[in-house]
Structure 1
Amino acid sequence: MKVSKKLIFFLGALGGLLYGYDMGVISGALLFIKDDIPLNSVTEGLVVASMLVGAIFGAGASGPLSDRLGRRRVVFIIAIIYIVGALILALAPSMPILVIGRLVIGVAVGGSTAIVPVYLSEMAPTAQRGSLSSLNQLMITIGILSSYLINYAFTPIEGWRWMLGLAVLPSLILLIGVIFMPESPRWLLEHKSEKAARDVMGLTFEHSEIDKEIADMKEINRISESTWKVLKSPWLRPTLIIGSVFALFQQIIGINAIIYYAPSIFSKAGLGDATSILGTVGIGTVNVLVTIIAIMIIDKIDRKRLLVIGNIGMVASLLIMAILIWAIGIQSSSWIIIICLTLFIIFFGFTWGPVLWVMLPELFPMRARGAATGIAALVLSIGSLLVAQFFPILTDVLPVEQVFLIFAIIGIGALVFVVKYLPETRGRSLEEIEADLRSRTNATNAQIDKTE
């Protein structure tokens, strides 16, 4: 059955929607879980953060597994795990079962962060790779917005079980959709046949591009290396570190504090539960809109330039908010907080949000792309875990403005990292990026010599 290009990329990115939904839905559910299951600041952080603990395992395992079994089969497994986790959460009678359900969901979330960017990147033609790979971030933002809308819809009945359990529906769509997803052509060329790879590339590439792409992939395949050998090789280590630090910064510059705890922040500023959740709907809507803008421009502007612009905007938003809250008090700052957090989301949404998911698979070589992206996603999950676990504790012991000042300082560190260490990848094929990476350490010639 021939599948349209649009359907391929929609289904390929659907895991991102589930990631976004499960990341955002907990923010509203927490307001009402406490009425049925007692939580303090520590156990609240544990419920939120347990998903990220599961994500660490999911990201670490899914990358190498996808290099062995294929991207498509691993996505099928991820869809089943999402369904099981959502059902556990919907029926959870106690805090420990909530944590178990979030752990299970987390395994699927970690798998999504590792596999979806790789799949989209490997399916996309070079000239459109940025915009098509950004569909992952668009789906994440749509998932977050969907969770906020569901939270708002069920607020009158305090239906937190419905909020958490409705993740089953998109999970079922993903499970069925996998049937129509082709396997990555780069995986097929290495594990099946050139004909299989060409057939799939015919669905998303121009026919004039296929011969060159296949030739480049075959040149890389001449190098006799296993996934594990590539991962532990000295020539890849600096890039793996850069990719992992990049992923860590994306999570600790403050975005997850907003996604997870925006209603709680608004409540502290004096807004009611319904108004607090409605405020997050506005933020989620802005996030989707700016991500659509990012998809339109990401292949026209250098990746690093976008990241620098985003960093400057995010840091400025946090600094302005922190100063104004300090000057006039949080109870008088509700609209200032909403405006500044919205500005933060705007700058994050068209820069750091999509660019990370585009660049991670671009940075790594084909033979270990799934595994290396999985390692970076694992580090990303650790960063998200740190924010989820410690943000409520920090806001208990520090004024809110000081917490956001900490995120601003981290944002300055991220800016320095981007300027100094991150390579530019726009406008180059995945094989050209890999060839350049290898040539800097003579890795290509050394490995080819061993096979001749």
Structure 2
Amino acid sequence: MTREHQIKLEEGDEKNDSALILTNEKPVYSIPWRSSLRQIVACCVAHSLVIQAGINMSFSAILLPQLNEKSSDIHISKSEASWIASIVAIALPAGSLIIGPLMDRFGRKTLCICTTIPFAISWIIHAAAKSVWHLYLARIIAGFSGGLTTVALVYVSEITHPNYRTMLLSLNSVFVSFGILFTCVLGLWFPWRVIATINCFLVLATLILLWFLPESPHWYTVFKNKPDQAAKSLEWLYKDPQIFENQLRLLDTSAKNRRKSRIDWSFYKESVVYKPFFILFVIFVIQQLSCGYVIIFYAVDLFREIGGHFRNGLDEFVALVLLGSIRFVMSIISALISKRVGRRPLFFVSGLGQCLTSLVAGVYMYFTVIPPDELAKLSIHKDKGDNIALYCVLGYVCFSSLGYLVIPWTLIGELFPVKVRGVLGGLMVSIAYIFMFVAVKIFPFVLDLIKIQCVFYVMAVVNLCGVIFIFFFLPETLGKTFNDIEAYFKRVG
């Protein structure tokens, strides 16, 4: 994009205070906060699906320690524990791969509703489990359901105004973080079977709320050619008559351009498809190698590894709640400031912060394994009950929740063209969770092979590489329409 012209339209009626922005001679109307409230409500309801995805991640951190207690009626080995933690991730690609064609055929809202059903089934099986194989089955279904939640990202990207899309897509990670925190807090007071029952009622509440949402207007126009239905959806989203007319006109123009050419294999060879796919692929590899999700899956075990009992009455379970709280608060901050800051600056702060905290953690842990007499020769005195390692890990979670654990998922709804967003979005989520499965599955065995400080050294190097990659390859998407983003990749292709 070579230039941007902004023209403020002065309207006599204060209610119609929208602004017209000409970007490359293509109009995009900005809207005030009060006119975006319905979008915000719809996005929050759709994103409530991914609360379950967050619960899936953190549930193993509660489940595994309780199963290892002597009083548990189900006993597991180390290998079985790693399968319980990781099997969710390997089951996710199945849901992500099939959700694309299904949402294109039956609609975004319909598939959001259908996604709640397997989630409810998985929690019922959890609550009634009598053996480790029942837990495997429940976790597989939960993972499959988590893959289906890709539809929420696509739905939100298609019902939101460009001025608010970045922020509202970022709510995805806010709700994932809420699911993590919700599980961590419940784990302080309830056994895992009771938590499973509570989660079942939570997902049923989501199902009820989803009934009241409109279908995606983009789906009606691009896949069904039903302009009347699309207009009804837009009318629900934009109560202001003038803003509604503006958005309807933009939608009609955009839909006509996309229907001019049919989707065939040659389209996947265009730069607007393979370039964002390459960028997202590398970003998700870096995301998983940075071990942000590994820390969440094995939080209690990791806290035990670095000390277990800390100062000021902290233990690993209180530290787990702190982790969930930090993840939740930082994801909210990321969502709020993303409307003004953009993707690239958040990525830079996140990556450099993770690099620093993991490096400090690795160096500190190196000194803690040196014998006390050797430390005395170096004039270093270590307090056995200090919290330095804990603060480093929590700081790492803080920075990762600002960028690397949040932004990649929202980019799926922005970088891919609308025509292939459902299919390639599901494929990219599948790839991401395959990486997650490998990382989570092998982590306990990696700790048997190398010292934990070496793991943190690797994390520091990975995050530094991530910052370099973002600097050179990721474009800024803040305030850009889908047409602007596609035009960028056509120019750089």
- Equivalent residues in 2 for 1:399-410, closer than 5 Å: 399-410=451-462
Measured after TM superposition, the shift of residue 192 of structure 1 is 4.3
Structure 1 residues 216-225 or 252-261, which shifts more?
Answer: 216-225
Output one character per residue of 1:360-407: Cα deviation in whole Å (capped at 9) or x when no partner.
211001111111111110111112111210111112222221122222
Measured after TM superposition, the shift of residue 346 of structure 1 is 1.7
Count of residues in correspondence between the two structures: 434
Supply the RMSD in Å over aligned alpha carbons: 2.3
When residues 271 and 170 of structure 1 are mapped into structure 2, their CA distance, relative to the original with a 3 A threshold, is same
Measured after TM superposition, the shift of residue 432 of structure 1 is 2.3
Measured after TM superposition, the shift of residue 235 of structure 1 is 5.3
Determine the structure 2 residue equivalent to 1:386: 438
1:177 corresponds to which of 200, 209, 219: 209
Measured after TM superposition, the shift of residue 4 of structure 1 is 3.8
- Equivalent residues in 2 for 1:346-385, closer than 5 Å: 346-385=398-437
1:276 corresponds to which of 316, 333, 345: 316
Structure 1 residues 141-150 or 95-104, which shifts more?
Answer: 95-104
In structure 1, give the amino acid aligned to 2:255.
Answer: K
Structure 1 residues 268-277 or 385-394, which shifts more?
Answer: 268-277
Measured after TM superposition, the shift of residue 63 of structure 1 is 1.9
> Is the 1:198–1:210 contact (alpha carbons within 8 Å) kept by the matching residues of 2?
no
- Equivalent residues in 2 for 1:254-293, closer than 5 Å: 254-271=291-308, 275-293=315-333
Determine the structure 1 residue equivalent to 2:247: 210
In structure 2, give the amino acid aligned to 1:308.
Answer: F
Output one character per residue of 1:230-278: Cα deviation in whole Å (capped at 9) or x when no partner.
4465752232122222233223312112111111112234436993121
Determine the structure 2 residue equivalent to 1:199: 232
CA distance, structure 2, for counterparts of residue 229 and residue 180 of structure 1: 39
When residues 394 and 334 of structure 1 are mapped into structure 2, their CA distance, relative to the original with a 3 A threshold, is farther
Output one character per residue of 1:159-195: Cα deviation in whole Å (capped at 9) or x when no partner.
2222334321221012212211211111011214122
1:304 corresponds to which of 316, 325, 344: 344
CA distance, structure 2, for counterparts of residue 129 and residue 6 of structure 1: 10
2:186 corresponds to which of 147, 150, 157: 150
> Is the 1:319–1:408 contact (alpha carbons within 8 Å) kept by the matching residues of 2?
yes
* SS of structure 2 residue aligned to 1:423: coil
Determine the structure 1 residue equivalent to 2:368: 328
Structure 1 residues 205-214 or 12-21, which shifts more?
Answer: 205-214
> Is the 2:40–2:168 contact (alpha carbons within 8 Å) kept by the matching residues of 1?
no
> Is the 1:225–1:367 contact (alpha carbons within 8 Å) kept by the matching residues of 2?
no
When residues 269 and 333 of structure 1 are mapped into structure 2, their CA distance, relative to the original with a 3 A threshold, is farther
> Is the 1:76–1:178 contact (alpha carbons within 8 Å) kept by the matching residues of 2?
yes
Determine the structure 2 residue equivalent to 1:423: 475
When residues 307 and 270 of structure 1 are mapped into structure 2, their CA distance, relative to the original with a 3 A threshold, is closer
> Is the 1:22–1:167 contact (alpha carbons within 8 Å) kept by the matching residues of 2?
no
Determine the structure 2 residue equivalent to 1:449: none
When residues 366 and 40 of structure 1 are mapped into structure 2, their CA distance, relative to the original with a 3 A threshold, is same
> Is the 2:353–2:399 contact (alpha carbons within 8 Å) kept by the matching residues of 1?
yes
TM-score between both structures, scaled by the size of structure 1: 0.90
Would you say 1:86 and 2:118 are equivalent positions?
no
When residues 69 and 299 of structure 1 are mapped into structure 2, their CA distance, relative to the original with a 3 A threshold, is same
* SS of structure 2 residue aligned to 1:5: helix
Determine the structure 1 residue equivalent to 2:45: 11
Measured after TM superposition, the shift of residue 37 of structure 1 is 2.8
When residues 5 and 421 of structure 1 are mapped into structure 2, their CA distance, relative to the original with a 3 A threshold, is closer
* SS of structure 1 residue aligned to 2:211: helix
In structure 2, give the amino acid aligned to 1:377.
Answer: V
Determine the structure 1 residue equivalent to 2:15: none
- Higher Cα Rg, which structure: 2
Structure 1 residues 243-252 or 268-277, which shifts more?
Answer: 268-277
In structure 2, give the amino acid aligned to 1:369.
Answer: R
When residues 211 and 175 of structure 1 are mapped into structure 2, their CA distance, relative to the original with a 3 A threshold, is closer
Measured after TM superposition, the shift of residue 228 of structure 1 is 6.1
Larger RCO: Structure 1 or Structure 2 (Cα < 8 Å, ≥ 6 residues apart)? Answer: 1
Would you say 1:31 and 2:71 are equivalent positions?
no
Determine the structure 2 residue equivalent to 1:162: 194
Measured after TM superposition, the shift of residue 311 of structure 1 is 0.3
Would you say 1:100 and 2:137 are equivalent positions?
yes
1:314 corresponds to which of 354, 358, 362: 354
In structure 2, give the amino acid aligned to 1:204.
Answer: L
CA distance, structure 2, for counterparts of residue 216 and residue 389 of structure 1: 48
When residues 37 and 395 of structure 1 are mapped into structure 2, their CA distance, relative to the original with a 3 A threshold, is farther
2:80 corresponds to which of 19, 43, 63: 43
Would you say 1:239 and 2:276 are equivalent positions?
yes
When residues 231 and 100 of structure 1 are mapped into structure 2, their CA distance, relative to the original with a 3 A threshold, is farther
In structure 2, give the amino acid aligned to 1:123.
Answer: I
> Is the 2:347–2:403 contact (alpha carbons within 8 Å) kept by the matching residues of 1?
yes
CA distance, structure 2, for counterparts of residue 308 and residue 238 of structure 1: 21
In structure 2, give the amino acid aligned to 1:411.
Answer: N
In structure 2, give the amino acid aligned to 1:396.
Answer: D
TM-score between both structures, scaled by the size of structure 2: 0.83
Question: Percent identity, aligned pairs only?
Answer: 23
Determine the structure 1 residue equivalent to 2:391: 339
When residues 356 and 103 of structure 1 are mapped into structure 2, their CA distance, relative to the original with a 3 A threshold, is same
Output one character per residue of 1:337-363: Cα deviation in whole Å (capped at 9) or x when no partner.
221122112212222233223222110
* SS of structure 2 residue aligned to 1:299: helix
CA distance, structure 2, for counterparts of residue 199 and residue 107 of structure 1: 32
When residues 215 and 58 of structure 1 are mapped into structure 2, their CA distance, relative to the original with a 3 A threshold, is same
Measured after TM superposition, the shift of residue 283 of structure 1 is 1.5
In structure 2, give the amino acid aligned to 1:188.
Answer: Y
Structure 1 residues 6-15 or 217-226, which shifts more?
Answer: 217-226
CA distance, structure 1, for counterparts of residue 455 and residue 132 of structure 2: 27
CA distance, structure 1, for counterparts of residue 462 and residue 67 of structure 2: 32
CA distance, structure 1, for counterparts of residue 183 and residue 470 of structure 2: 31
Structure 1 residues 237-246 or 253-262, which shifts more?
Answer: 237-246
Would you say 1:73 and 2:147 are equivalent positions?
no
When residues 6 and 404 of structure 1 are mapped into structure 2, their CA distance, relative to the original with a 3 A threshold, is same
Structure 1 residues 431-440 or 85-94, which shifts more?
Answer: 431-440
